[in-house]
Structure 1
Amino acid sequence: MLYDIITAFWRDWIVLKRRMIKFILSRMVAPILYLVAFGWGLGRSITTGGGAYINFLVPGILALNSMNISFNSLTSLHGERVYHKSIEEYFTAPINPLSFAIGKILAAILRGMISSAIIIILAYAFGADFTITPLFLLVLILNCAIFAEIGFYAAMTIASYEDMGRFNTYILLPMSFLCGTFFSPDKLPTAFYYFVHILPLTHTSLLLRGIGSGGVPNMISVAVLLFYVITCFSLCVYVTKKAQE
């Protein structure tokens, strides 16, 4: 099974390696705009808890970016299933279908982590001050895993590109702005406050912000992320087995 996972992962790695420069350059655009507009522009007139706003902003950008990249990395799988009809070739090949799913998810996590590394480098260049620890990186990996799994599930179940776009509009876009990326969810009305704390991106933002500032991680937030990882992976297993029928 491990060999099958590596095989599925390796295919995506070869594609990424050949496009690495373009991938890196394209991943730099949005973070630079966020850092300039919010970090240098708006952020110069804002302080959070006595610290610079850019130090508050960067963990949120990392959570947001890792969500988008990990999810969108699986968009091509939707095309393979719906339009090219090539996913059947994977399932008829001598490879465990579950290994195929894991390999695809791992490849999306890799893309999310490479993109996160780019943001970390840019953030330090812009003068941000936060600490990178193994736990900090683990939280990033968990966030990438959650949204890679959601992306895999969506690619295997949604019927058209238009519906994939609607998924982004109705689910990812609201999380991008409400889940503590640009401001603390404590400022939200009570109903919204409790709602956004159900969502995984909120807990990723809170954990990255707390760990990056040297604080103690909230174990409830860690448990929420682990719950999402396990639940979303179970859904991926279900749709993969169903696709074989």
Structure 2
Amino acid sequence: MLILRKKFFRQTASMSVAPLLYLIAFGLGMGQGVSIGGHTYMEFLIPGLVAMSSMTQAFAIAGEINIARFYWRIFEEFQAAPIRNIAYVTGEVLAGMTRALLSVGVILLIGLISGVVLHYGAFFWVAVLLNSFVFSSLAVCLAMLVASHADQALLTNFFITPMAFLGGTFFPVDRMPPWAQSVLNFLPLTHAAHAIRGSAFQQPAEPYPYLLLAGIGTVLFVLAFWCVNRAKE
């Protein structure tokens, strides 16, 4: 939080660029006159951007961990300090979740300025928190496994970026061919986008996406702790 306070405006400015571009290109450009399930495309897009941004910003903590490991050598300081590994993992995961919540706030503000008014109740925020928990834990886990900062960028390009576009963020998954739906249902972001969008549209909450995200996040958190225990400089 101390670091975030010092670069708060730079972080929020950088987090607002991509959502603005997506809203202009997809919402105002391609989505004019498009209706999905009785909602405008802008109303459909905002929850998708919330799911995508909370994923990418939570996972971005991996880049900061890599810099701390390979360039600043701060991870050695953590290993030598009287800090338990579970505290380190929890701190990094919470840092990623904080970044995710900040990015969600930026998107909701942009949506409000654009005239999009949705319902942001308790289930909405629970879905956002679970989504960011999943990808923050994944980020810590993978950051301990990669051998260089370039390897981390490779993982982002091959897994996170495709998931950001295919996980039900910009289009309904149920409009894809059955075989594609089966593949996309393996992506955590697909279920996160479904839960976030459903709560924003005030649809009855389905327990399955929430339980699935909680289960995946717990497993990844345990794996992150195990990876930190095994990490060697």
Please give the range of the TM-score, normalised by the shorter of the 2 chains: over 0.9
Counterpart in 1 of 2:129? 141
Rounded to whole Å, the distance in 1 between the matches of 2:8 and 2:101 is: 13
Q: Which runs of 5+ in 2 are unaligned?
A: none
Rounded to whole Å, the distance in 1 between the matches of 2:39 and 2:86 is: 46
Rounded to whole Å, the distance in 1 between the matches of 2:69 and 2:51 is: 29
CA deviation digits over 1:195-230, x for unaligned, max 9? 111111001110111110110122111111011111
Partner SS for 2:157: helix
CA deviation digits over 1:87-106, x for unaligned, max 9? 12101111112101101110
State yes or no: 1:156 paired with 2:144: yes
Structure 1 runs of 4+ aligned residues shifted over 6 Å read: none
TM-score, scaled to structure 1? 0.91
Matched positions, count: 233
Rounded to whole Å, the distance in 1 between the matches of 2:210 and 2:203 is: 14
CA contact (8 A) 2:54 2:132 kept: yes
Q: Map residues 68-79 of structure 1 onto 2, 5 A cutoff.
A: 68-79=56-67
CA contact (8 A) 1:80 1:87 kept: yes
Rounded to whole Å, the distance in 1 between the matches of 2:38 and 2:227 is: 48
**Structure 1 position 33, deviation (Å):** 1.1
Q: Which amino acid aligns with 1:35?
A: L
**Structure 1 position 244, deviation (Å):** 6.4
CA deviation digits over 1:4-45, x for unaligned, max 9? xxxxxxxxx211110001111111111111111111111113
State yes or no: 1:168 paired with 2:156: yes
Q: Map residues 1-245 of structure 1 onto 2, 5 A cutoff.
A: 13-243=1-231
CA contact (8 A) 1:35 1:126 kept: no
Q: Which amino acid aligns with 1:51?
A: H
**Structure 1 position 48, deviation (Å):** 0.7
CA contact (8 A) 1:91 1:244 kept: no
CA contact (8 A) 1:31 1:61 kept: yes
TM-score, scaled to structure 2? 0.96
Counterpart in 2 of 1:6? none
Q: Which amino acid aligns with 1:206?
A: H
Rounded to whole Å, the distance in 2 between the matches of 1:201 and 1:74 is: 18
CA deviation digits over 1:120-144, x for unaligned, max 9? 1111111113100011011101111
